[in-house]
């Protein structure tokens, strides 16, 4: 009989789910309960890690719900799954970047609090790492009032579909005390990402970052999020995807530009990461899950990376130890 005490559950054995499992196997000895509708894919992923010290077991949904914390690395919506898992006594780490899904997850705060569990919303690359970078950059300021996110690349096929739909949706931005909705695909801005990604034209898109960054840092006055796109992406954004998405996107990148005051002067700090998007998301989610499993995220309820009640600097430190390299922009 295998002992599943202190187990971490992972739902989704796709590109991002496999990176979550890979990072958990590399950094912990906790048993891993893996569940996916594609049983063959889940068994193949478990077999890859069979020779290691950590046990990776393919289980059904009822069994994965017995884990102390479950990472949702499957396609959205995550809210119904999170509801079931919380009701069965598991804490949840969601990688969802779908705006309506994220809103539903955040609305589960009181329910999660009543169950004395933790629900981490948007623990991926963008959102997720952006919140941690905002928190890190904030230490260089006396006060911050603006955060602008730009993102390039996609993780697995679900992420590529989400990216495609985001350009056709309504972007949400926080501007001087009110939420502004603008059409996706507008607001072109040439953004420089860390090498080897370089410069890409980025546009407004339906991204969850502004909602989560506002939740993490309520004092922010202006928050925007943009995503890179080619002309063809914008031209076809309102149509179904012409070609099936790649199994895994190439090198991705994200950057966050934070503006505020230091010693009475207006300053700007920019941090970024260039890495495969699934790798960033996997490391962020797995690291967050380990913190929740060890009880280092003490406040019950729905939370987002970067908010005051979380050990943000420790989480970021472990993410960087996991191989994600952080860069800072120097210039004007």
Chain-centre distance for alpha carbon 197:
20
Burial 285-320 (b: 16+ CB within 10 A, else e): bbbbbbbbbeeebeebbbbbbbbeebebeebbebbe
Q: Answer yes or no whether residue 330 interacts with other proteins by CB under 8 A.
A: yes
- In sequence order, the 6+-apart residues with CB closer than 8 A to the CB of 283 are 19, 23, 319, 322, 323, 324
- In sequence order, the 6+-apart residues with CB closer than 8 A to the CB of 294 are none
Q: Answer yes or no whether residue 189 interacts with other proteins by CB under 8 A.
A: yes
Q: Answer yes or no whether residue 239 interacts with other proteins by CB under 8 A.
A: no
Q: Which of residues 129-148 bind other proteins (CB under 8 A)?
A: 136, 148
Shortest Å, Cβ 4 to other proteins: 33
Q: Answer yes or no whether residue 311 interacts with other proteins by CB under 8 A.
A: no
Q: Answer yes or no whether residue 195 interacts with other proteins by CB under 8 A.
A: yes
Shortest Å, Cβ 17 to other proteins: 28
Q: Which of 22, 111, 317, 322 binds other proteins (CB under 8 A)?
A: 317
Which is nearest to 204 in space by CA: 182, 219, 232?
182
Write phi, then psi, for 81 (nearest 5 degrees).
-65, -45
Q: Which of 130, 257, 291, 304 binds other proteins (CB under 8 A)?
A: 257
Q: Answer yes or no whether residue 332 interacts with other proteins by CB under 8 A.
A: yes
The per-residue DSSP string of 6-47 comes to T-EEEE--SHHHHHHHHHHHHH----EEEE-S-HHHHHHHHH
Q: Which of 1, 2, 176, 231 binds other proteins (CB under 8 A)?
A: 231
Q: Which of 270, 278, 292, 304 binds other proteins (CB under 8 A)?
A: 270
* C-beta of residue 281 within 8 angstroms of C-beta of residue 16: yes
Q: Answer yes or no whether residue 234 interacts with other proteins by CB under 8 A.
A: yes
Q: Which of 83, 141, 201, 241 binds other proteins (CB under 8 A)?
A: 201
* Residues binding other proteins (CB under 8 A): 136, 148, 150, 185, 188-192, 194-195, 199, 201, 231, 234-235, 257, 270-272, 313, 316-317, 320, 325-332
């Amino acid at each position: 009989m295998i002992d599943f005490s202190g187990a971490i559950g992972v739902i989704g054995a796709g590109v991002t789910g496999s990176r979550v499992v890979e990072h958990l196997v590399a950094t912990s000895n906790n048993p891993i309960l893996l569940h996916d509708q594609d049983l063959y894919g889940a068994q193949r992923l478990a077999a890859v890690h069979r020779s290691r010290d950590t046990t990776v077991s393919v289980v059904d949904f009822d069994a994965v719900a017995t884990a102390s914390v479950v990472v949702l690395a499957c396609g959205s919506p995550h809210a119904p799954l999170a509801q079931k898992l919380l009701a069965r006594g598991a804490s949840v780490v969601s990688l969802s970047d779908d705006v309506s899904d994220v809103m539903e997850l955040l609305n589960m705060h009181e329910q999660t609090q009543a169950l004395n569990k933790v629900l981490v919303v948007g623990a991926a690359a963008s959102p997720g790492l952006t919140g941690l970078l905002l928190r890190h950059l904030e230490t260089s300021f006396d006060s911050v009032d603006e955060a602008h996110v730009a993102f390039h690349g996609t993780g697995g096929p679900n992420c590529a579909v989400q990216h495609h739909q985001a350009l056709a949706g309504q972007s949400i931005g926080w501007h001087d005390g009110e939420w502004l909705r603008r059409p996706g695909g507008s607001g072109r801005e040439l953004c420089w990402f860390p090498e080897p990604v370089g410069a890409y034209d980025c546009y407004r898109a339906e991204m969850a970052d502004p909602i989560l960054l506002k939740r993490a840092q309520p004092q922010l006055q202006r928050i925007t999020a943009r995503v890179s796109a080619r002309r063809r992406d914008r031209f076809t954004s309102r149509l179904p995807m012409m070609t099936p998405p790649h199994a895994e996107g190439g090198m991705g990148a994200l950057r966050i530009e934070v503006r505020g005051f230091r010693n009475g002067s207006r300053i700007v700090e920019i941090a970024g990461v260039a890495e495969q998007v699934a790798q960033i998301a996997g490391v962020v989610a797995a690291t967050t899950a380990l913190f929740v499993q060890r009880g280092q995220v003490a406040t019950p309820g729905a939370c987002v990376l970067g908010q005051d009640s979380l050990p943000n600097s420790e989480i970021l430190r472990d993410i960087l130890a996991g191989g994600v390299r952080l860069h800072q922009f120097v210039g004007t």
